[in-house]
Amino acid sequence: MSKSAMAIVYHRQPFEEIEVDGRIEFRANSSPNGIVPTLKSLFRRIDPGRGAWVAWKTCDPEAGADFERVVHVDDDNGGFTVSRLPLTAEQVESFYHVTSKEALWPILHSFPQAFQYDNVDWETFREVNRLFAEATAEVLADDGLAWIHDYNLWLVPHYLRQLKPDLRIAFFHHTPFPAADIFNILPWREEIMASLLACDQVGFHIPRYTKNFAEVAQALCGAGIVATEAVSDGLSPCGKALSEPEVPVSLCHRGRLVRLGTTPVGTDPNTIQRLLETPESEALQSRLIREMGGRRLLVAVGRTDYTKGMAESLLAFERLLERRPELIGEVKLLLTSVRAASTMTVYEKTQREIEGLVGRINGRFSRLEWTPVVLYSQAIPFDQLMAHYRIADVCLTTPLRDGLNLVAKEYVAANFGRTGVLVLSEFAGCAVELDDALLINPNSHRSMDRALDRALDMSVDEARRRMNGMNRVVRENDVARWSDRIIQELSLIGA
């Protein structure tokens, strides 16, 4: 088998496995949006069949020969191979559910109080990262490009550089990158940074995260900043919680030049618009409007995670009903907080808190014909979710920390030509792009209360002006443009 020119290394497989008549079929992801379809689209930029994807697959050790290690995918991205790394349930539990989610995730999101060290098995984390590196080296040509994604694969560059010194290696963070005093809580900080500095390019969503990484590299590893650039107006160089006037674009460490990329991922407004124009979606939108009966709809969507600010949204909605009793019976909150897997116990407390708040609000304010909060703990299918976004008057997106937040951009795309209002945390990465959102501090009751009042009282003209402004940003910086920028950045590696 010929070697690949580019491998995308990501923990998730680029398809869904569906059992049909006792056989497993591989199908495209049910959501056309999100990071997996975005990454797959990059294979269109290389010769057909010369792309590879490396992911894990939980596998029973006794499956043996029944396990299909390599899968070929033929789709409109030109065709590519998927190399599936078999991991035991115990390896997945240790590497992903414990080390990644209980130790690394809280530090990345500046929640040191949630950092848990006692259960971490760092040797298993190393071993899984080494296995990913070996699988990647196996599929790539000697001068190929490995593009590695996210913090749970932080050590892959180190092992990959040892296996194939001439590979071009890039890494992209989909999370925030914290300030040095927070990052340095990690006992493995030197090992992590040494691995990342073995890359040719390291990428982030916004300038603040790039700057934080560069400062850690300087202070911890002695790296030098080679060049900086002024931040463009489109990324709010001043005046916001996550603003930065300048951003480092390259480092030097032990004779190696490491390029730094700052590229916020986009959504796909055209796909969202096509979904909303289908007969099924239009019928659903009409039904939802009838069911609302003239009431105002607020939506809040995310995963059950202490970083996502779902409890803060619920408390703000409760205060709204207390503060403005005339709205009782006139507004409804649809909250989708997708429950974590049962093995991820770190989020159980958050789930209980959300369910308790929903019960309390509904118990206090419900009427026979009206329930103030509807909670979904399972994901709503993407096409149906877009229909809800389309008719929603307000979207509450209030994370305490978030790398970017595509929910905000999807809501804007679904509201093309409409007058919905986006209430957005200033600690979501996309806040530096969306000037016309109502920015709030989710740690401040007063800030959230003022924004909710303003959102519900806003004139149609102001709401339309703001939504039109955000739509221009979302459409100009869509996923296609993100792909173009990424390809341009990756093409500079080795140049």
pLDDT, one tens digit per residue, over 296-341 is 999 999 999 999 999 999 999 999 999 999 999 999 999 999 998 7
Residues 6+ apart with CB under 8 A from 254: 197
Mean pLDDT, all residues of the chain: 93
Minimum mean pLDDT among 52-61, 83-92, 416-425: which range?
A: 52-61
What backbone phi and psi angles, to 5 degrees, belong to 314?
-65, -45
Say which range, 49-53, 244-248, 295-299, has the weakest mean pLDDT: 49-53
CB 412 within 8 A of CB 434: yes
- The segment with the largest mean pLDDT, out of 10-24, 61-75, 349-363, is 349-363
Q: Dihedrals φ, ψ of 378, to 5°?
A: -115, 155
Residues 6+ apart with CB under 8 A from 415: 389, 390, 467, 471
pLDDT category at 37 given cuts 50, 70, 90 is: confident
pLDDT exceeds cutoff 60 at 198: yes
- Give yes or no for a contact between 98 and 344, defined as CB atoms under 8 angstroms apart: no
How confident is the model over 259-308, as pLDDT tens digits? 999 999 999 999 999 999 999 999 999 999 999 999 999 999 999 999 99
Q: Of 70 and 177, which is predicted with more confidence?
A: 177
* CA distances for 141 relative to 136, 156, 493, angstroms: 10, 17, 16
Which region among 34-43, 154-163, 356-365, 451-460 has the lowest average model confidence (pLDDT)?
Answer: 34-43
Q: Which of 32-41, 308-317, 432-441 has the lowest mean pLDDT?
A: 32-41
pLDDT over threshold 60, residue 26 = yes
Token pair in block for residue 10: 């990501």
Q: Report the pLDDT value the prediction gives residue 31, as an integer from 0 to 100.
A: 56
The pTM of this model reads 0.95
The pLDDT confidence band at residue 447, using thresholds 50, 70 and 90, is: very high
Place of tokens 């071009």: 168
pLDDT given for residue 480 in this prediction: 86
Checking if the pLDDT of 22 tops 80, the result is no
* Domain covering 4-266+479-492, topology: Rossmann fold (3.40.50)
Higher pLDDT, 58 or 22: 58
The yes-or-no verdict on residue 28 having pLDDT over 80 is no
Residue 495 has what pLDDT? 61
Domain extents for the chain? 4-266+479-492, 269-477
Using CA atoms, how far apart are residues 126 and 159, in angstroms rounded to an integer?
Answer: 9
Instruction: Name the CATH architecture for the domain at 269-477.
Output: 3-Layer(aba) Sandwich (3.40)
77 band by pLDDT with thresholds 50, 70 and 90: low
Alpha helices in 140-237 (DSSP H): 156-163, 180-183, 189-196, 207-221
| The pLDDT value given to residue 25 | 67
Q: CA quadruple 141, 145, 150, 154: dihedral positive or negative?
A: positive
Is residue 34's pLDDT more than 80? no
pLDDT of 75 > 80? The answer is no
| Cβ partners under 8 Å of residue 438, min gap 6 | 421, 422, 423, 424, 451, 454, 455
Instruction: Assess whether the region 4-266+479-492 and the region 269-477 belong to the same CATH fold.
Output: yes
Alpha carbons 405 and 187: distance in angstroms, whole number: 28
Beta bridge partners of 297: 332
* pLDDT score recorded for residue 62: 66
